[in-house]
Amino acid sequence: MLTFFSDSHHAHAPQYEFFRGERVPCFETPARAEFVKTRLTERGHALRTPHVDSRAVLAKVHTSRYMAFLEHAWRDWAALEAGNDQRQPFPSVWPVRTLRSDVEPANFTARLGLYSMDNGSPLSGGTWEAAKAGADAAASAVTLLGAGERAVFCCSRPPGHHAGPDFMGGYCFLNNAAVAAQALRDGGAARVAVLDVDYHHGNGTQSIFYNRADVLFVSLHGDPLTEYPFYLGHADETGEGEGAGFNLNLPLPAGCTVPRWFDALEAACQRIGSYRADALVVSLGLDTFAEDPISKFALQPQDFIRLGERLGKLGLPTVFVLEGGYAAAALGTNAVNVIEGFEGL
């Protein structure tokens, strides 16, 4: 399968994050994409460099105010105080209920809180460069589908599905799956389905398309009553306005069995089939792996082959976008298993 890969992902390399109140080394590291790249190369999958500038599509899925902040955030942070270029900024205040979010504060930390859903998504000097390259990969993948490719894989990081219209979170800054879906719509696809199989609900993708009928969002994930992102991903979230009925969440309890997970996958695929989508975007989170350090599902490497096989049976032009998965050494095997299951290899 043709794959987009950019060395720019190395530019996003923060040293630490906060996890359950503790300062810890980052789970989302450059090694993740490198393990996948190595396995792809070993198996003979062709790697290409993104060739499409995604700015025009990004402007349709993210607000201009948020985009401007993110692009210049590190420059603004470094200019505040000598030595800031050696420190990681984190938000410490958020505009929660009754507080205003329509006015952008001048204070950098306050602006960071305005555009962040958590304090676990650290910035570094190359965050914009890496995130933009991932969005470019998603837009580039759509051009290859238009040229006749059946499926394309975006081996990019940081991930994107927690990034909403005007906020970052969950290691995500720009929503690559939303870029792919919007680019497919712009290219003439009347109906696009986005399937998110990450352990964590794709709250950002849901938020971007929640009022739209032209993009169906389907997600199977850990129950938000106990699992991140906590505040979205419940089964009663089915869309609003024109999007009513075009959002399907299939939350599953932490520790659920592999057969139960595949039952949910089958329900997701049945809904996509009934939607009569013209194209499919897969938010390929691989943190459903049994050995993932921050997730609680039980899939084994061979189960990812089965996942790919089922997605292949949908018979749709497909863009795969790499999302989560933090058992880094196994990430390459699991990603390639999905791809080769899809291709029937």
Q: Which of 12, 45, 62, 162 is flagged as catalytic?
A: 162
User: What ranges make up the beta strands (E) of the chain?
Assistant: 2-4, 16-19, 22-25, 47-48, 151-154, 192-196, 215-222, 247-252, 279-284, 318-322
10 Å CB burial of residue 174 (0-12, 13-18, 19+) is buried
Q: Please choose, from the candidates 49, 168, 35, the residue with its C-alpha nearest in 3D space to the C-alpha of residue 113.
A: 168
User: Which amino acid does the sequence have at 342?
Assistant: F
10 catalytic residue (yes or no): no
Q: d(Cα 145, Cα 150) in Å, to the nearest integer? A: 6
Paired tokens of 252: 């599953």
DSSP for 238-292, written as a single string: ---GGGTT-EEEEEE-TT--HHHHHHHHHHHHHHHHHHT-SEEEEEE--TTBTT-
Contact (CB, 8 A) for 208 and 180: no
Q: d(Cα 204, Cα 200) in Å, to the nearest integer? A: 11
Catalytic residue IDs = 162
